[in-house]
Amino acid sequence: MIVQRWRRPAWAGVFTFAVVFVAWYVLTTLTQTISPGRFPPPGEAWDALKQIAVTGYADARLSEHVLHSVKLVLLGFTAATVIGVPLGLAMGASRAFEAFVNPAFLLIRPIPPLAWIPLAIVWLGLGDAAKVLIIWFAAFVPAVINSYGGVRAIEPHLIEAARMLGVSRRMAVREVLIPGALPMIFTGLRLSLQACWTTLVAGELIGAIAGLGHVLYQASLDIFPAMIVVGMAAVAVTGALMTMLLGWLERRSMPWRT
Amino acid sequence: MKRHFVAIAAGIALTLTAQTSGAQTPIKISYQPAVYWALPFYVAAEKGWFGEVGLVPEFSTFPAGVPQIAASAAKSWDVGGVGSVPATLGAVRYNLLTIGITNDESYGNALVATAKTADAFMKNPASIKGQTIVLTANSTGDYAVQSCLAKWGLKKSDVTIKSMGQAEIISAMSSGNADLGGLWAPNTYTMEEKAGAKQICSGQDAGAAVPGALIVRADYAKEQPQNVAKFLAVYLRAWKWLNAHQAEGIAMMKKFYEQGGVSISDASLKKEFDTRPTYDLAGQLKIMQRPAGGASEVDGWFTKIGGFMQANGTFPEAPTASKFITDEYLRMVDADPTLKEFANRTN
């Protein structure tokens, strides 16, 4: 009975966090095996959290930083989804379209998103638009590749069956292509979302006025390990919440899989 | 004639002392490339002055003060030079001691405006309200800019501050993405010469003293106080020489700056000498001397800098200047006739 209860993922998660927290406390506070200069004790991290949440740090409070970052991620992610998914579907569905687009895509694909930063600043200035563009680049590639792969992974007999039944092209896309590719599309979107957060932190290193990346940048300039931990935790929690939201959307979009 | 004889005798004595004790002790020195206050390290190394006091310098360079002081945690260096803001940060985070002043860089840290906007801003500083200023946060440049804003009756919240490195600031201003930037020399000269920008307010204009600091790791200072004193003597001698041989000094400075990727005119190089006072041994001791129970001039400068950093949220409490600034090693130089003579040499 007890074994069964411990098998529940939620309990397992709580247990893992508890072990990590105790190890953190023991190593940094109780035994001081790790000095505060190298990794902050929980008490310092708590003080840093209070500072940024109440009085603010890096010119804003934590809630403002989180909202700013979420806004940038959502804009970049949405733009990447709106452009990347249809492009991937079209490439998967049409050999002719793929022949036109794929060479350019193959060239753009290996370029690291951060390499676009100088050009993004020249094109769009130091505002949020440049950061959204960089996030878009990061999210775009997984969105396209997985949508393309999703279409290619559809079993040919399903497409053949649709053709034999004489369904229209539009209906085939709506009833066969999209539902068949959806599992991989969502896999791509999850990867895209992760890429958005990774790139956001780098994008906000230059010329940001708020955001979690800006907090991490400022904390690194201040050599403030406790605030770095708070910034990282905020990125992790916000990113995880958005991934959970995407998971919920995935389950709603594919009721047949639950 | 007599002075020359004493100098030569002291030089021979120093060399013999170093040789007989077999003490060619390595010392790890950190600095940033192509900055005025680091020039004495280059000059002293070129002239072989470290060897004369039995030191073998091992140099390491850093792009900015923060990574430099962070590297002290791993004992990557023993002594060095840095801006006063990172020196204060290093005192709080890594127990670094400030043992001398490299130079007064109040003029060299400034708010710079692009050619098309500078005159209007200078005419009406209140028009800076609502503008975006690009600067390196928590640096001496940031301190100078915020002092300028205060001088004009503006608050930090009256402008939008965007933080970035010095190279990115130059790019942003040159490409028309920003009109106002917080820079330090020689980047100020680069902007003036390459993009026609103008310095509209410096730390000096705003009444903010912006010193540069000579720093040491506290544990190294405790273990090797003599080496710290010798290091200071070499540094002070290099300034003495540079100030006495400016033309030759500028030629060496040009070479040193070019090695760091900075190419500016001879006029700007000369301006560095003209606008950034340095201190000899007596001058250092004077500004660092604490009257009974009181604070030294240097304590006062760093107390203000600590307050600025506290206001920025860097630390909850500004450090007490007297706890990390010490003239102990300068006094060691002063008390040792051989080192004192060495530090005051102009040749």
Residues B87 and B166 in one domain: no
Residues B219 and B313 in one domain: yes
Residues B73 and B219 in one domain: yes
If residue B79 lies in a helix (H) or strand (E), which one and from where to where? Answer: strand B79-83
Show the DSSP H helices in B56-114 as ranges. 65-70, 84-94
pLDDT score of B22: 53
The CA distance from B236 to B346, in Å, is 10
Nearest to A126 among B70, B178, B316 (CB): B178
A10 in contact with B, Cβ within 8 Å: no
Nearest to A125 among B69, B177, B316 (CB): B177
What one-letter code names the amino acid at B223?
E
**How big is the A-B interface in CB pairs under 8 Å?**
63
pTM comes to 0.80
- Answer whether B80's CB lies under 8 Å from B100's CB: no
Strands B109-113 and B198-202: antiparallel
Residue with tokens 């928590």: B138
Q: What is the CATH number of the domain that holds B225?
A: 3.40.190.10
> Within 10 A of B328 (CB to CB), how many other CB atoms are there?
13
| Percent of chain B topping pLDDT 70 | 93
Report, as an integer, the average pLDDT of B73-95: 95
Max Cα distance, chain B (Å):
67
pLDDT score of B14: 47
Residue pLDDT tens, chain A, 258 long: 455 555 566 788 888 889 999 999 999 998 888 887 779 999 999 999 999 999 999 989 999 999 999 999 999 999 999 999 999 999 998 889 999 998 888 888 889 888 888 888 888 888 899 999 999 999 999 999 999 999 999 988 888 888 888 888 888 888 888 999 999 999 999 999 999 999 998 888 767 889 999 999 899 989 999 999 999 999 999 999 999 999 999 999 888 776
User: What crossing angle do the helices spanning B187-195 and B266-275 adopt, rounded to 10°?
Assistant: 140
Which residues pair with residue B163 across a beta bridge? Answer: B135
The CA distance from B229 to A48, in Å, is 39
Q: How far is CA A10 from CA A240, A242, A249, B83, in A?
A: 15, 18, 21, 50
pLDDT score of A205: 73
Domain boundary among the residues B153, B181, B202 is at: B202
User: What is the phi/psi pair of residue B28, to 5°?
Assistant: -90, 120
| Residue B142 domain boundaries | 109-202
Residues B53 and B67 in one domain: yes
Residue-wise pLDDT for B115-171, tens only, equals 999 999 999 999 999 999 999 888 889 999 999 999 999 999 899 999 888 888 998
Domain boundary among the residues B202, B226, B245 is at: B202
Residues B51 and B117 in one domain: no
Residues B225 and B336 in one domain: yes
- Answer whether A139's CB lies under 8 Å from A195's CB: yes
The CA distance from B333 to B15, in Å, is 17
Residues B94 and B35 in one domain: yes
User: What crossing angle do the helices spanning B297-311 and B84-94 adopt, rounded to 10°?
Assistant: 80
Residues B239 and B271 in one domain: yes
The CA distance from A77 to A194, in Å, is 10
Share the mean pLDDT of chain B: 91
The CA distance from B66 to A221, in Å, is 6
pLDDT score of B235: 98
Contact yes or no for A223 and B168 at CB 8 A: no
The CA distance from B246 to B223, in Å, is 36
A112 in contact with B, Cβ within 8 Å: no
End-to-end CA distance of chain B: 14
pLDDT score of B293: 80
**Residue B120 C-alpha, separation from nearest chain A C-alpha, in angstroms:** 23
Contact yes or no for B94 and A37 at CB 8 A: yes
pLDDT, greater one: B9 or B333: B333
What one-letter code names the amino acid at B219?
D
Domain boundary among the residues B185, B202, B219 is at: B202
Is pLDDT above 70 for B15? no
Write down all domains in chain A, each with its CATH number in brackets: 40-257 (1.10.3720.10)
pLDDT score of B145: 97
Residues B82 and B22 in one domain: yes
Burial code (b: 16+ CB inside 10 Å, e: under 16) for A83-92 equals ebbebbbbbb
Report, as an integer, the average pLDDT of B286-300: 93
pLDDT score of A49: 97
Residues B180 and B230 in one domain: no
Confidence band of B263 (pLDDT split at 50, 70, 90): confident
Residues B87 and B235 in one domain: yes
Q: How many domains does chain B have?
A: 2
Residues B198 and B324 in one domain: no
Is pLDDT above 60 for B227? yes
Report, as an integer, the average pLDDT of B247-254: 95
Length of chain A: 258
Confidence band of B23 (pLDDT split at 50, 70, 90): low
* ipTM surpassing 0.90: no
The CA distance from B30 to B38, in Å, is 9
If residue A213 lies in a helix (H) or strand (E), which one and from where to where? Answer: helix A212-221
